[in-house]
Amino acid sequence: MARAYSQDLRDRVIDAALRDGTPARHAAARFGVGIATAIRWVRQARESGDRKPGRQGQPMRSKLDPHRDYVLELARTSDMTLAELAERITAERGVAVGRTAVWVFLGRAGLTVKKRPRTPKSRSVRTS
């Protein structure tokens, strides 16, 4: 995937087209950017006055978004591992999810869940 152009280059192309009266095609050739790119930048600057690029990519989505309240309540009130949470969500809500999907979903919500079942206390060494 190609990197985004710098804001400085974007500003120079827009300034050449708007202030100097140079056509966007000529500004594109002068600064070494694509013609369609320069035309799009200049059009956006003319119409809205905005020179900054829009956000790239799509928003993060999860199968668990429609079940957000249920999953968060389950994670807060129960003492389950990620695998147990995934199994229970699949059984009760019919949404086939894995441990990683539950982990990412809870991470975005700011929650952490233990990674493995509780181990018995050590009888040979005092731990606390």
Res. 113 pLDDT band, cuts 50 70 90: confident
Contact between residue 113 and residue 81 where contact means Cβ atoms under 8 Å apart: yes
Contact between residue 74 and residue 113 where contact means Cβ atoms under 8 Å apart: no
More confident residue, 70 or 124: 70
Q: Residue 105's closest CA among 68, 55, 56? A: 68
Question: Tens digits of per-residue pLDDT, 59-112?
Answer: 888 999 999 999 999 998 888 889 999 999 999 999 999 999 999 999 999 988
Q: Rounded distance, CA 55 to CA 58, Å?
A: 9
Contact between residue 113 and residue 99 where contact means Cβ atoms under 8 Å apart: no
Decide: pTM greater than 0.85. Answer: no
Contact between residue 127 and residue 121 where contact means Cβ atoms under 8 Å apart: yes
Where helices occur in 19-109 by DSSP H, the ranges are: 24-31, 35-48, 68-77, 82-93, 99-108
